[in-house]
Chain A
């Protein structure tokens, strides 16, 4: 099944999905050393985003968050790709400079459709889409 989405950071990525229903800030909510979700209120607290296709609704928080993705890339703890319902500047720029593909505004609600653990592919170029086995 192909889900159309808006390409924000270009590239191709695949991996197991990790779906967070809560908004995420990369400064504070994610531990860049381990790649684990550090926000105790999150529904995916303690899960690793490393190598995953990280799916979450939106981000919040400080502009320093841009450099957190870069740090994670350097340490090898970054996600393989990101899907957001609505992206914003901090995560978008962080993903671009870190070479992490990112798409947003999927045509269906992926928070309901995609389940944590299932295999997901992202294509982000002139056009963008998400592929899942259904």
Chain B
């Protein structure tokens, strides 16, 4: 890899954190065959939940001493930092979780605690990023046309401190070409279609024909599921996403039909907001609750702190009907979900991860189906 004199100096820096961060980027550059580093606009750091990184991760973060040089965001934590006890989080977990958040805040990382940083400050087409949250990576690459690989929490943090990332993978236009054409039934739920497609195509980039108009929120749910069940860093959607015309249409074709992939457990928790909800989605839930009435089951809604702060009335409207609106966390990264038996979700990503990470059964439904089940 070719390094500039300035980059070479960072490898010899007196500051151990800077030196290690640079060493990480150079090592990754060698492993993935990058020729050089490129500047990034922002970084997004995962591995925030104490549940995931434990004491080893916490103590390592506390040992760091540097400042990030680009705008940097935190992924969700293991709890709502204000209403943690209401979620059933104990004090010991709370204190460890706050130490992780403070350790990163000290480095200059914003306490955004969301998997949807693009709702806080959207990148532009062509921007290079170092984002770690897989659903945000897919959204940034596919829907916005920014460029980021699927970073780990540590490599994203190293990029935040140095302001650069190795130039390989999805940063290079030709690596963004689709390898398979996918026709999706008009009636298929995009989140479930993404989940099923990822199981088939793995990390390959698909170009998808939805056969109808889809909202950005549907693209968000589709991409999150695709990345969770398969591992792709992006997709194209014919007539919709910004780069869909830039490549040849692949010969390989797959059809995804509307499916009935619904396990039959009876939910004792209904959890909506993986990825975190947009204001539009919160409004939809509020409308549905007004139509169907008070919930009779535990219903947890997840969004970012910023959207909640800017729209306090929407949370009040939803909570009047007995649902709870939490920020900073989600059903997948919080251990609070573990005490339930069966969780109903509208998310293909949560459908994939909840059984594996939180040991609960899952059942799938659209937002409307979730709310209807909640009031039964």
- Residues on A close to B: CB < 8 A? 6, 8-10, 63-64, 66-68, 70-71, 74, 87-90, 92-93, 96-97
Would B30 and A8 count as touching, CB distance under 8 A?
yes
B28 near A: Cβ within 8 Å? yes
State the Cβ distance, A134 to closest chain B Cβ, in Å: 28
* B20/A87 in contact, CB under 8 A: no
Query: A93 to B57, Cβ gap below 8 A?
Result: no
In contact, A10 and B23 (Cβ under 8 angstroms): yes
- Per DSSP, chain B at the interface is helix
Whether A67 lies near B30 (C-beta < 8 A) is no
User: Most chain-B Cβ atoms within 10 A of its Cβ — which of A74, A90, A93?
Assistant: A93
Q: Does B52 contact A (CB under 8 A)?
A: yes
A6/B155 contact (C-beta < 8 A), A70-B56, A96-B23 known: no
- Are A9 and B59 touching (Cβ within 8 A)? no
- Report the bound CA distance from A21 to B315 in whole Å: 57
Q: Contact between B31 and A8 (Cβ–Cβ < 8 Å)?
A: yes
A83 to B31, CA, bound (A): 14
Q: Which residues of B contact A (CB under 8 A)?
A: 20, 23-24, 27-28, 30-32, 52-54, 56-57, 59-60, 152, 154-155
| B30–A96 touching, CB < 8 Å | no
Q: CB-CB < 8 A to B24: which residues of A?
A: 92-93, 96-97
Question: In the bound complex, do residue B27 and residue A8 qualify as a contact, i.e. CB atoms below 8 Å apart?
Answer: yes
Separation in Å of the B326 CB from the closest CB of chain A? 25
A residues near B28, Cβ cutoff 8 Å: 89, 92-93
Contact of A97 among B30, B31, B54, B60 (CB under 8 A): B60
B56 contacts A93, C-beta separation under 8 Å? no
Choice from B27, B30, B154 contacting A66 with Cβ under 8 Å: B154
- Say yes or no: A89-B31 contact (C-beta < 8 A), given A9-B23, A67-B54, A97-B154: yes
Return chain A residues, CB-CB under 8 Å to B32.
Answer: 89
A92 touches B27 (CB 8 A): yes
B236 to chain A, nearest CB (A): 26
Could you list 19 further interchain pairs (A-B, Cβ under 8 angstroms) beyond the known A66-B154, A74-B56?
A8-B31, A9-B23, A9-B27, A10-B23, A64-B52, A67-B57, A70-B56, A70-B57, A71-B54, A74-B59, A87-B31, A88-B31, A89-B155, A90-B152, A92-B24, A93-B24, A93-B155, A96-B20, A97-B154
Q: How far is A90 from B23 in the complex, measured between Cα atoms in Å?
A: 14
Distance in Å: Cβ of B144 to nearest Cβ of chain A: 25
A88 to B33: give the CA distance in the assembly, Å: 12
Contacts of B155 on A, CB cut-off 8 Å? 89, 93
Q: Which residue of A lies closest to B23 (CB)?
A: A96
Among A6, A67, A88, contact of B56 (Cβ-Cβ < 8 Å): A67
The chain A residue with its CB closest to the CB of B28 is A89
| A66:B23 contact, CB within 8 angstroms | no
Complex CA–CA separation, A104 to B23 (angstroms): 15
Cα A87 to Cα B54 with chains together (Å):
25
Pairs A–B under 8 Å by Cβ, sample size 9:
A9-B23, A10-B23, A67-B57, A67-B60, A68-B56, A71-B54, A87-B31, A89-B32, A93-B155
Residues of A within 8 A of B20 (CB): 96-97
Q: Which 7 interchain pairs have the tightest Cβ spacing?
A: A71-B56, A70-B56, A92-B27, A67-B56, A8-B27, A67-B57, A93-B154
State in angstroms the CA–CA spacing of A92 and B32 once bound together.
Answer: 12
- Residues A66 and B31 in contact, CB atoms below 8 Å apart: no
Smallest CB gap from B59: residue in A? A74
Bound complex: CA A9 to CA B56 (Å): 19
Closest Cβ–Cβ distance, residue B135 to chain A (whole Å): 16
Minimum Cβ distance to chain A for residue B63 (Å): 9
Verify B152–A63 contact, CB threshold 8 A. Answer: yes
**B152 proximity list for chain A (CB < 8 A):** 63, 66, 89-90, 93
Q: Assuming A64-B52, A89-B152, is B27 touching A96 (CB within 8 A)?
A: yes
